[in-house]
């Protein structure tokens, strides 16, 4: 009877680092355009001003223990900074493995801007932070806990490690090429990043190793603007006059033995976002889903706004059908003109709503990011 528990125990042991080559993987957000620094630190300060981003994801909600994650980032793009890029901070937390393990990460990011032409610029970004993993030993069930008839009634002979928390340094790097055509109606981003550069060991036990694998990310986005925008100071007038914006995009990820791809589009008109994205895993058991996106943007001033977006992952095929898909909610605060360093338009510490865009130029106009 106890043979049926061998597979669950092997899974648990692999998570703890007993089995050589056991790996973990990062959370994958459907709204990658709402969490650009999470995938590539080169997006730090890609546009001038301050942006604060909050995102919550509940994955597989019909399961007894849904997989929840939280993400926060804030970055400042100021062309008076050394390197003329930006600085930022990221905090993320998730609870994989049916709540047995809690992951927490915090990092500082730096972006360095390298102008190429008036209509093309590149940025290089670096992430330096920590990764913390906690385990709940009391929630684990081993084979010798179990009675064939009465279930979990025995005391296990397994002696857990004194360590229930592991903290390791974590680093990442990336680059972004940003461009816009002379007419200003077509712009885009092309990026590549590597996370967990030094593959930290996150095993809880000294008798094994659990190397966190590197994650490789490639991403491309094109934003087409249909017609010139309005210049009215009224929020309602601006929403009526603003042109239709369409973002075509895709992101490819590779981590350990898992490849995943997401492609689709978002549209923005009358301050309303609508989008549809196709997501698929490309290795092992293939799972496909469609992410449907809706949101709204409210502008307090021409250079100060708040964006709310909701997305739902609808499972199309694969072994994850019936798990309830996934819900994502994001909130983005944008202060396009706020700067903390002196010089440039607006002066030190200028606040949104007081004048033109700091820095100027066609490359400073914010896109869907």
Residue pLDDT, tens place only, 181-193: 988 889 999 999 9
> What distances in angstroms separate CA 340 from CA 49, 90, 274, 351, 352, one per listed residue?
9, 19, 34, 10, 12
Could you tell me the CATH number of the domain that includes residue 136?
2.40.160.40
Q: Is residue 293 part of a domain?
A: yes
Residue 181, in any domain of the structure: yes
pLDDT of residue 235: 47
Q: Is residue 273 part of a domain?
A: yes
Residue 165's pLDDT band (boundaries 50, 70, 90)? Answer: confident
Structurally, how many domains does the chain consist of?
Answer: 1
Q: What's the predicted TM-score (pTM) here?
A: 0.81
Per-residue pLDDT tens over the stretch 353-369: 333 334 445 566 556 77
Residue with tokens 């790996």: 23
Domain contains 179 = yes
In the chain the beta strands, taken as DSSP E runs, fall at 49-59, 67-77, 86-94, 101-117, 120-135, 146-147, 151-152, 165-180, 186-195, 215-226, 244-255, 258-269, 272-281, 288-301, 304-317, 326-335
- Residue 307, domain member (yes or no): yes
What is the spatial distance between Cα 222 and Cα 280, in angstroms, rounded to a whole number? Answer: 21
Judge whether 114 lies within some domain: yes
Give the separation between CA 34 and CA 308, rounded to whole angstroms: 10
pLDDT tens digit sequence for 264-320:
999 999 999 999 999 999 877 788 999 999 999 999 988 899 999 999 999 888 766
The confidence score (pLDDT) of residue 175 equals 97
Containing domain of residue 319, as a range? 2-364
More confident residue, 251 or 145: 251
**With contact defined as beta carbons under 8 Å apart, do 209 and 199 qualify?**
no
Asked if residue 112 is part of any domain, the answer here is yes
pLDDT of 229 above 70: no
Q: Cα–Cα distance between 339 and 348 in angstroms, integer?
A: 6
Note whether 46 and 176 are within 8 A (CB).
yes
Q: Residue 369 falls within a domain, yes or no?
A: no
Q: How many residues belong to the chain?
A: 369
């Amino acid at each position: 009877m106890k043979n049926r528990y061998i597979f669950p125990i092997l899974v648990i042991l692999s998570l703890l680092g007993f089995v050589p080559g056991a790996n973990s993987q990062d959370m994958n957000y459907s709204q990658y355009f709402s969490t650009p620094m999470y995938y590539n630190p080169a997006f730090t300060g890609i546009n001038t001003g301050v942006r604060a981003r909050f995102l919550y994801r509940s994955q597989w909600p019909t399961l007894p223990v849904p997989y929840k994650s939280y993400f926060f980032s804030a970055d400042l793009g100021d062309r008076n900074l050394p390197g003329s890029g930006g600085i930022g901070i990221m905090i993320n937390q998730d609870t994989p493995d049916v709540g047995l393990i809690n992951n927490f990460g915090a990092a500082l990011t730096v972006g360095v801007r390298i102008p190429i032409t008036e209509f093309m610029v590149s940025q290089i970004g670096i992430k330096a932070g920590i990764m913390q993993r906690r385990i709940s030993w009391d929630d684990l069930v081993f084979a010798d806990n179990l009675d064939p008839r009465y279930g979990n009634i025995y005391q296990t002979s397994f002696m857990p490690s004194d360590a229930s928390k592991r903290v390791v340094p974590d680093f990442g790097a990336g680059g972004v090429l940003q461009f816009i055509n002379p007419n200003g109606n077509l712009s885009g981003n092309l990026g590549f990043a590597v996370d967990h550069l030094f593959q930290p060991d996150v095993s809880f036990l000294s008798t094994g190793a659990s190397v966190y694998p590197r994650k490789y990310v490639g991403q491309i986005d094109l934003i087409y603007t249909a017609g010139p925008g309005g210049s009215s100071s009224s929020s309602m007038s601006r929403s009526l006059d603003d042109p239709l914006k369409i973002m075509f995009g895709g992101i490819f990820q590779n981590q350990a033995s898992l490849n995943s791809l997401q492609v689709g589009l978002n549209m923005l008109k009358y301050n309303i976002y609508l989008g549809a994205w196709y997501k698929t895993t490309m290795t092992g058991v293939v799972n496909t889903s469609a992410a449907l996106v809706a949101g709204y943007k409210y502008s307090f001033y021409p250079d100060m706004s708040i964006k709310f977006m909701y997305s739902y992952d609808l499972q199309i095929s694969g072994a994850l059908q019936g798990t309830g898909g996934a819900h994502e909610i994001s909130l983005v605060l944008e202060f396009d003109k706020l700067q903390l360093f002196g010089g440039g338009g607006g002066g030190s510490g200028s606040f949104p709503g007081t004048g033109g865009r700091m820095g100027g130029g066609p490359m400073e106009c914010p896109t869907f990011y």
